[in-house]
Amino acid sequence: MKRSTRIVAFLERGLRGGGAGPEGVPSAPRDPFEEIRDPWRWRTAFDDRFATSFCNICWWSGESFGGFAHSESAVCPACGSIARDRFLFYCFIERQPATKYRVLETSPRLGPAYRQAMKRWFEYRASDFDQRSHRADIAVDLQNIALADGSVDILLTPHVLEHVPGTDLALEEIRRILSVGGAMYLQVPVLQGATARPVEPEFHGDNTPVEWRFGPDLTARLREHGFDTRLLCTEGLSRHVEAGERTWPGETSPEFDATSMLESLCYDDFLVVSDSATAQRVGFVPPYMFLTWECRKLG
């Protein structure tokens, strides 16, 4: 699969902001996160604002996100988040009690303003494998993580594991560095019903090769490594799977084999974290595109 030019354009879009100050002198870009002191209070802002669209990361609200309804689009005009960024952050905040966690995020898509905000809210570090496409605080190879046992409370890892050759090595290392009771929130592109190697060479937007195309069977793999695992989803997807539906109503995005996905998803693995009204407003649509694994280390 090669990302469409539309999606790549949104992925590569930087944060917007700034303007002209007195006598045409450029002003400093506005910090889209400046009003946020406690990210767990986002629902207060959500309930107080009646706009059609709302970003749960920077609390922007307005008529609509940029682009189109897709996990790789629906762009927030303030912070630049796309829909899957917001779903990962949503899962973390909804599922964890408020405290100042030690957070590690692998190859975060969002830039300096987001990372500085995360450092205000948490003991936060961003990592990348080779610092080639994502400049980060530390370089981390998920197959051999140079961090101490139990040194991370929350690992946010969006669309990284599919690029790692040794899935089992990575999962062993991740479990080692998590504190007891800590959790990984894991996103990978789920495009088909079963995990397999790509049929032909496949690259994502930063030209990183894809090693694995994961399916819902990743749940069992995670449990084999000792994680207490739930598959977080929205009400819309859960309802379809519970009803035993094997085709998605209406048109689906061509890179998703929605039929094989529906055949492979297990309702008992699901934990619904968002009702349909919230999902629509924050941009978690269409529902089959939004899955995040919560993997908790119990002991």
Asked if residue 105 belongs to a domain, the reply is yes
Q: What is the pLDDT of residues 33-84, one digit of tens each?
A: 999 999 999 999 999 999 999 999 999 999 999 999 999 999 999 999 999 9
Q: Residue 294 pLDDT > 90, yes or no?
A: yes
- The region of weakest confidence among 126-130, 139-143, 229-233, 283-287 is 126-130
The pLDDT value given to residue 133:
63
Name the token pair of 104. Answer: 């590690």
The pLDDT value given to residue 299:
84
Confidence class of residue 264 from pLDDT cuts 50, 70 and 90? very high
Asked if residue 15 belongs to a domain, the reply is no
* Pairing relationship of beta strands 102-106 and 152-158 according to DSSP bridges: parallel
Confidence class of residue 29 from pLDDT cuts 50, 70 and 90? low
Which residues are CB-neighbours of 113 under 8 A, at least 6 positions away?
15, 29, 31, 32, 33, 79
Q: Residue 19 pLDDT > 80, yes or no?
A: no
Asked if residue 182 belongs to a domain, the reply is yes
The mean predicted confidence, pLDDT, of the chain is 90
* Pairing relationship of beta strands 178-187 and 102-106 according to DSSP bridges: unpaired
Q: What is the pLDDT of residues 201-243, one digit of tens each?
A: 888 766 789 999 999 999 999 999 999 999 999 999 999 999 9
The pLDDT value given to residue 203:
87
Asked if residue 29 belongs to a domain, the reply is no
Which residues are CB-neighbours of 25 under 8 A, at least 6 positions away?
none
Question: Which structural domain range is residue 271 located in?
Answer: 94-297
Asked if residue 64 belongs to a domain, the reply is no
Q: Count of domains in the chain? A: 1
Contact 95, 294 (CB under 8 A): yes
Nearest to 257 by CA among 191, 187, 188: 191
Confidence class of residue 130 from pLDDT cuts 50, 70 and 90? confident
CATH at 246: 3.40.50
Among residues of the chain, what percentage have pLDDT more than 70?
A: 88
**Is the pTM above the cut of 0.75?**
yes
Asked if residue 208 belongs to a domain, the reply is yes
Which residues are paired to 66 by β-bridges?
75
Asked if residue 142 belongs to a domain, the reply is yes
Residue keyed to tokens 């397999």: 196
| DSSP result, the chain | ----HHHHHHHH------EE-GGGPEEPPP-TTTT-S-GGGHHHHHHH---SEE-TTT--EES--BS-SSTT--B-TTT---HHHHHHHHHHHHHS-SS--EEEEES-SS-HHHHHHHHHHSEEEEEESSSSSS--SEE-BTTB--S-TT-EEEEEEES-GGG-S-HHHHHHHHHHHEEEEEEEEEE----SSS-B--SS--B-TT-PBP--B--TTHHHHHHHTTEEEEEEEEHHHHHHHHTT--S-SS---TT--HHHHHHH--GGGEEEEE-HHHHHHHT--SGGG--EEEEEE--
The pLDDT value given to residue 207:
76
Confidence class of residue 30 from pLDDT cuts 50, 70 and 90? confident
Asked if residue 38 belongs to a domain, the reply is no
Cα 24 to chain centroid, rounded: 38
The pLDDT value given to residue 88:
98
Q: Residue 21 pLDDT > 60, yes or no?
A: no
Nearest to 28 by CA among 92, 113, 102: 113
Whether omega before 29 lies within 30 degrees of 0, making that bond cis, reads no
Contact 282, 55 (CB under 8 A): yes
